[in-house]
Each structure stands twice: as structure tokens, then as C-alpha cells.
Structure 1
Amino acid sequence: MRKHVLVLLADKASDDGTGIWASKPRLAAELEVSKPTVINTIKSLIDDGLLVEKGLRQNSNGFTKDYAINLDAIRRLPLANQSCHQSRCLTGQNDRPVKPDNLSSQAGAPHQSNSLTQTPLNQPEPPLGVAPARHKPAASSKQVRVNVPVVGCHLPKDWQPPAVNELSAAVTRMVAQWPAGAFEASCKSFYFHWQSASGPNAIKRDWTSALELWLVQDNLRMMQALAAGTSFEWAAPTHAAKHSVSKRVIARSDEDLRSRAIRAELVKQLGKHAVDHWFSAVALLCDGTNLRVICPSNWAEDYLRRTFHAEMSLAVKRAVADGGAVSVTFEVGAVSDNAARPEDETDAR
């Protein structure tokens, strides 16, 4: 199992062994083992010095650990003698020199060579002064790396989540325990995440299977929200038309040019559609290098803080702080009676 886990981590790592931040449930699903097995195996690799924990990296579900493979430790593993051992196993011969034949006791008998190449009989002798011709060894074939095309596609812009009863039986039973609207909210997060993703990992063969894995990883958060009494009614199908756009906070009218610059940076990172959806009702007030994010509800404050904190910090650095240190704080403010419309964002910009 250690070898399987290490090979999978190496497949996800960069050329220098760094940049491994796959979640434990995803690794367990790809290896078809349990999550505790993956955790214990990674712990043993860290204890042996083959894997190094670099820190934490933010993702859509909070944070995940960032690992790196210790290439120096891998090179020091006792693997050099395997080739010799395998050669002896394949040929059945030991490393001792071959005993020479007693030519005197076998006079007149044809010579039997122990080598794999035999000299053909009746070969004409070369003329005097001319060296015998030697056969050139066949050129060794070099391994050619073939770029296998990635089969699949990006998540379509008009993608719609399947009905709950169209998912696998286990996922259907799991989602049935969630509060009303939680499934639709998780599907929205899934959509915005993969719409803004890029690279080979953003190409999937089966987006329904990818959604099921996303829901399984989101189950803990949804059950915690259920225990805390968090409401997802705004995303429920029966309330979608009424709550499709949250009411705007009153402090939205206090935004200035710095706020517009921060919103423009967010559009570069997340895309206009995601910014219009999640930030049209939110006020972004900049005080020096501190950004106050005033949200219309407790749920919006919690979600934006966990999902977009890193993106907002980077937007403040680029827009107003010139790359210096910044801080981002979240709070809930009073809302107005008028609903925020995405087109208002376009007019403001």
C-alpha cells in the first residue's frame, strides 16, 4: 500500500516533488481503499522521511495539507542491487567466471561456445593484412514518450445538475439527510469551482461521477450546517425564483473607486459570472490595506470567508496595496428592500 500511495502522490506532484494537495477522501477513492488507510500510510511515509508536510492550502472545502516528496530520500533507497539480482534470477547463472574447456581431452570435437552468438561455419577467411569484419550491434531503441490525449471535456456552461434520484443509491441516501436547499447550494459551488478551473485536472470524462465525489466530500460540512441550524432555503427549488439574488446591504452605496478596482481584480480571478452571483449584494469597503466585506446574512458571511478569502486578499494586494500586507475582515450588515442585480455591477464598473 505504501508503494501505491507514493506512486499516486508522485503522479500529482510537480517535477521537483512539490505541490501535492489532494484530499484524503479523493486519494482513498482513487486507490479504492478507506480514508484511515490513506492517513496511516501517509503518516508512515512522513515518519520514514520519504514525504514532507509543507503546510496548508486553501480549497473549496476549507484547507488541505500540502505535501512534497523527498527526492533525496527516494534516491538513497536500496534499489541499486535489484537489477543484478533480477539478472541472476532470469539466467539461472551465478557471477563466477565460466570454466574453460579442456581442449586436449576433446581433440577433434567441434568447439561449443558458451556465448549467445555463434560463428557461422565455412566462413571465408579474410585476405592477409585485412582485419576481419565485425558485426555492428543493433542500435538500442530509445523510449519515446507518447502524449496520450486527455479524453473528456470541460464542464459545459449550460450544465445542470441531475436530480437527486438519478445519482447512485449511496449518494442519494446521503443527500436525503441534508437540510432543504443544501444539495442545490453544493451543486452551485461545484459549478463555479469547475467553471473557473483550468489545466488537465479540469477535464473530466464523467461529470456526474465528479459531482458525486464532490457531494461526498461536502457531506461533513452539510451535516455540521444541519446541526448548527444553518438554512439553505435560498437555494431550494421552491424558493429559487424568490431568493435567486440576495438583498443588497445598505453599505453597498459607500463603495468608492478602490472598491471597484478590487471587484475588477476579482473578475480576473473568478470570472464575471461568479462575481455577479456572489458579490452583487456584498459591500467591499477598503480602509487602507484593510478590506471590510459586509455580507447580507450569516450564511453568506461564513461561505464567502471560507471560499473566497484568499482571492479577496490577492485582489486587495493587486488593487490598492501594491503587493504589501493586507487584511480582510467579514461582517454582517443591514440590508435594503431592493434586491441586488448583477447588471448593477456592470454599470458600476
Structure 2
Amino acid sequence: MEYARLGRTALRVSRLCLGTLNLGVRMSMDESLRLMDRAVEQGINFVDTADQYGWQVHRGFTEEVIGEWLALGGGRRDQIVLGTKVFNPMSDRPNDQGLSARHIIAACEASLRRLGTDWIDLYQMHHVDRTAPWEEVWQAMETLVQQGKIRYVGSSNFAGWHLVAAQEAANRRHFMGIVSEQCVYNLVTRHVELELVPAAREYGIGVLAWSPLHGGLLGGALRRLDAGTAVKTAQGRAMVALETHRDTIAEYEKLCADRGADPAEVAMAWVLSRPGVTSIVVGPRTLEQLDGAHRALALRLDDDLLAALDRLFPPIGNGGPGPEAWAW
């Protein structure tokens, strides 16, 4: 396993982060527990979840599944860097959502109970709350840090300028602020290269890429659909994107086949190779998919393959950060 510092912190996290969206939902409890054990055996020390995950059963269910795993003991809690998130509605009550100080603190307490732990390593804002002043947000986060309930604060699905505004407000309070930003980043979706990644690198904020396969689209989608084995690929963002990217995906799968490489592993290796990316968040449903993500760590893409990928999935505008991407 490879490890990297999380942004400007001294905390070291695995370059594969175990995403938990499938735990207990698309997998049985026993399968979920075995998957987490295998991840740790492979050296993954970074686990990501959110308070709302598991909504197909009930909100908070995924945290409860992780709590079951942690309760098995054997030093499991000490072996992982555990991240969860706050923002999404947890009920129909008007104050049971967003980034008010009240909700941040109450949601953290609820997550700790479900997870069965005393602390959260990385507490992430799941989305920007345009109604919450940064002074209020940071006051709540400072309280949780002082109480020992969280160690670091991260963001998710922010724009570049949100990172700047949040970090400058934290700097004025002499608070560490944001140490990571979790954003969608893959060959199909490269918008973050314009401003978000440059802002993150400037402020020492680690980039955690979620959906590196774009919901399975880049994991051999056409092959799986033809074979009748598609699960996640046959729904959601992958199917929507396939309507406009079918020809490109066909070329991509042929390119990978000609190289003797697995499409999913190539897609993950590409994101791992991008500047500023600390970890990719992978959400395997099976041990085999987890093993494939592990193999992607060792896959090095040569210049010819990188150029071919850029031709198939061109960066936005002139490529690279703004303003050069759209101006001079």
C-alpha cells in the first residue's frame, strides 16, 4: 500500500480510501464485515462514510454497519483513519440538516453513537451551506475539536472559491480549517482541474476523488451490459452518461483491451496520477473489485497511453487550470 500526507497535515492516509456506500445495502452484513477486514489486510487505513448513507434502509445505517465492524475489536479502530460527513437532511425537521452550529454538533454526537467510537478523524462538510456564515461553522468545528470529538475538518463538493472563503475565515480565527476536499473526479468529469484543484494545492488541502469510475461507466460498462453482469453500471450516473458517451466508452474499452489492461484499473490509475490527488475513494461491492483497486496502485500509465486518454476524454478548454484553460 502507498500512503500520503492528508493535505498539509502530518496524518498519513492510504492512497485507496474505502468508500462505504454499498455496505449493508448492496452487500449483506457478513460480506460488508469481510470486505472491511480485507481492506485493512491490504493496508487500507482510510475509511469514508456519511451520516446519511444507508438511506435505502434508514439514514445512518451505514455508520451502524461500520460500528458493528469496529465493535469486533482487535484494534480495528486504531488501525483506521475514519471520516464521516454532515449536511444532508437526517429527518424532516427544519434544523436537522445543513451547517448550522446546532446541527453540526448534534449530527456529530449522533454519528459517534452510531459508529460506537469516541472520535472522528475527518469530519467533512458534505456540501457547502450558502445560508451558514463561516464564523458559525468554524465556531462549531472548534468546539468539537476542543472536546476531542473530531481531529480534522474536511469538505466535499465545494467549489474552488468556497475553499478560499472557508480557509480565509478559518485563518482569521487561527484555526487549521479545511485539510481535504472530496470531489467527483474521473476521466469523464474533469471540471475540478479548472479551479478547485489549483485552490486546494495552494492552500495545502488534499484532494480525495470520489467516483473515479463515474458510477461504473469506466469499469467496462459495455462489456458488463453485454454480459448481463452490470449492477451499478445499469443505473444512475453511469447510464445517464452512457447515452452521450457510448462511442467514446467503446473506444476506451478497446484501448484498454489492446493494452491488456482492465478498464477500471486504468481509470483509477489515471486519477491517482493526477497532481494534487491524495486518495481515490473506491466503493467495491466484492472482494474481487477491492483487489482490482489494489492492483491499480501499481499500474503506471506511459506517456502514449496518457495522451490517448486525453484524446478520448479531453480536458476542459485548453486544459489545465483557469484562466489559461479558457483565456491566455
Compute the TM-score of the two structures, normalised by the length of structure 1.
0.24
Query: Larger relative contact order (C-alpha < 8 A, sep ≥ 6)?
Result: 2
Compute the TM-score of the two structures, normalised by the length of structure 2.
0.25
Q: Which has the larger radius of gyration?
A: 1
